[in-house]
Amino acid sequence: MSSRSIKTRAPSSSLTTLLDVCRHVDGDPTARHDLKALGRRAGLSTFQLHRLFKSFLGITPREYVEQARVQELKRRLRTDSSVTNAIYDAGFESSSAVYGRLDVHLGMTPRSYRRGGANEAISFAFGTTPLGHVLIGATDRGICYLQFGDSQGELLEQLAAEYPNASVAPSPAGSGPEFAAWMKALNAHLEGKPSKAELPLDIQGTAFQKRVWEFLRTIPYGATTSYAQVARAIGTPKSVRAAASACARNKIGLLIPCHRVLRGSGDLAGYRWGLPRKRRLLAVEGAARTSDARSFPRTRSRGEVAEDRAR
């Protein structure tokens, strides 16, 4: 196949080819998927295959293979007799070589994930806002969870389901002046009064999800964008559905403002915490926007927090 063939294919043909390769990898995630072999299956050179994956998914074929193995590892961590067995059975070559990379994928070490978050300490606190109850969860690295709900019981149940065996406990700061100041600033934001409050975030997700979420944090207070614009902004214009999926999987509401993303037609689309809340947020922010409006709150990534600690 010539190097120009990928360009002349119809989009549907390219997508069909991509899906065939993805299904092949997903069907046997423990296999050693050589990139040249995957290219031959698709009728493409390794360069063309790389470009196809980046165009539609925003990741490389190698990254896709690793993500498939991580999913298999998650399954095996629940059933295999040991963490080491699970790592090898999932297709990884050694346990020592993959621990650092898996911490990024799982948000914790494989051993902690196997135990449903065991040894991962998550503190939480409740608050009351114009959008209903809110639960804020944090590790020692920053806020990892901010959810809205109709009751505290519902919110706590969701947190427990996300981390079934983590050490989840009320935050001592939940009744202190710092949390009170944060809730005051949060409610001010929900009333159309942006704040300069800064909070560290512990953002856990895939590389693609993190790219989407980091971009969402740059959307100005009172502004909106579309899923297609998000995909273009992160350099993967064909990954609109993947960008929408990343928005839907956001676990840190408001601080990662996925509510500011709409369909291209201007329709609200979905919202994890319900369309009435999304509609109200957009109305409040739109009405309050001024020429010097700021995104709220100004959040800091783990890297920024680490830099501060190093100083």
Mean pLDDT rounded to a whole number for the chain: 76
Query: Is 143 strand, coil or helix?
Result: strand
Q: Closest by alpha carbon to 145, among 157, 153, 135?
A: 135
Q: Would you say 147 and 155 are in contact if contact means Cβ atoms under 8 Å apart?
A: yes
Cis peptide bond upstream of 297, omega within 30: yes
> What does the pLDDT read at residue 301?
47
* The CATH fold of domain 119-311: Arc Repressor Mutant, subunit A (1.10.10)
* 110 cis-preceded (ω within 30 degrees of 0): no
Q: Which CATH class is domain 5-114?
A: mainly alpha
- pLDDT tens digits for range 123-157: 888 888 888 889 988 887 778 889 998 888 889 88
At 28, is the secondary structure helix, strand, or coil? Answer: coil
Distance CA 113, CA 78 (A): 9
Q: Contact 39/17 with Cβ under 8 angstroms? A: no
Percent of the chain with pLDDT over 70: 70
Average pLDDT, stretch 281-306? Answer: 58
Render pLDDT for 65-86 as a digit per residue (tens, 0 to 9). 887 877 777 776 666 556 666 6
Tokens of 57: 């998914």
Residue of 86, 136, 80 lying closest to 109 (CA atoms): 86
Known catalytic residues?
258
Decide: 163 and 120 in contact? Cβ < 8 Å. Answer: yes
Give 249's contacts (C-beta < 8 A, 6+ positions apart): 205, 209
Residues of the chain with CATH 1.10.10.10: 119-311
Q: Which residue has the higher pLDDT, 165 or 103?
A: 165
Beta strands in the chain (DSSP E): 121-129, 132-139, 142-149, 167-170, 198-200, 225-226, 261-262, 298-300
Q: Which helix (H) or strand (E) holds 111?
A: helix 110-114
Question: Taking the CA atoms of the chain, what radius of gyration do you get in angstroms?
Answer: 21
Q: What is the pLDDT of residue 189?
A: 76
Identify the residue with better confidence: 94 or 201: 201
Q: Where in the chain is the domain with CATH 1.10.10.60?
A: 5-114
